[in-house]
Amino acid sequence: MKTRESGMPEEALWETFFDARRVLAALGFGSEVRSVAEFGCGYGTFTMAAAEFGAAVTALDIDPQMVDRARARAVAAGLAGVRCELRDFVEHGSGLADDGVDYVMLFNILHAAEADRMLAEARRILKPGGLVGVMHWNYDPTTPRGPSMTIRPRPQDLHHRVLNAGFDRATEIVDLPPYHYGFAVRKPALKGLAEAPNSLPALQAALLWSGISRPPLPPADPLP
């Protein structure tokens, strides 16, 4: 199901709203990012920028016209590492493996009612230590596009929501003029293992910390 208020204007207008490479650079995206997933690629505005940084990009969208357009742009630019797929990621997830990608792009999409589901899917497919870049329209009714104010997230609220989905802060909220803000968060790495990889307490701490395991319950009180 297409998420609420996720339609697009004409491509030429959409492209005037962003300096895509600058957005990515501000959201922790550098040449060390080798693999990317994009939830809702639209015209491929950020697909192209990520691929131009040298990353392999899996770009997902529910709209066949968007997928065709993003794919055509990548082919025309000779960017062989771009895979555009027609997919409903709300209904079916991304289809990507656990712990597999370095970066997930969630741009202009988290006003969706299913935002928490998307964040859980992003966390699942990210490598430990990988980043999510979040960008959205300013909380300002005068922006030329963007979801209605009743569902448009405020920057601080969105930041809290994303952190509460099991991520660590990677950047502060940054202004992305003229109409957007954004931030990056990090999937926790398995702490403890790097320091003492062979120690059982370190392994237990790492599993606990990553949410894979729960502490054993304390022994029950003896029956009277």
153 binds ligand SAM (CB under 6 A): no
Closest by CA position to 83, among listed 134, 125, 113, 41: 41
3-class state of residue 126 by DSSP:
strand
Site size toward ligand SAM, by CB under 6 A = 21
Q: Is 181 in the site for ligand SAM (CB under 6 A)?
A: no
Q: Is 192 in the site for ligand SAM (CB under 6 A)?
A: no
Residue 98 C-beta: closest distance to ligand SAM, Å: 20
CA–CA distance, 122 with 190 (Å, rounded to integer): 17
For ligand SAM, the closer CB: 109 or 115? 109
Task: Verify binding: residue 60, ligand SAM, rule CB under 6 A.
Answer: yes
Q: Residue 42, interface with ligand SAM (CB under 6 A)?
A: yes
Angle at CA of residue 146, ends 141 and 151, nearest 5°: 80
Cβ proximity to ligand SAM: between 89 and 167 the closer is 89
Q: Residue 174: which H helix or E strand, with range?
A: strand 174-176
Nearer to ligand SAM, 8 or 202 (CB): 8
| Window of 85-93, 151-159, 171-179, 214-222 that interacts with ligand SAM by CB under 6 A | 85-93
Asked whether the beta carbons of 169 and 188 are under 8 A apart, the reply is no
Burial level of 24, CB count in 10 A (0-12/13-18/19+)? Answer: buried
Residue 62 as a binder of ligand SAM (CB under 6 A): the answer is: yes
Closest to 13 (Cα-Cα) out of 182, 175, 174, 179: 179
User: Cβ closer to ligand SAM: 127 or 145?
Assistant: 145
Alpha-carbon span 224 to 218, nearest angstrom: 18
Looking at 29, 53, 89, 183, which residue binds ligand SAM (CB under 6 A)? 89
Angle at 5 between CA 124 and CA 27, to 5 degrees: 45
Q: What is the binding site for ligand SAM (CB under 6 A)?
A: 1-3, 6, 8, 40-42, 45-46, 60-63, 66, 88-90, 107-109
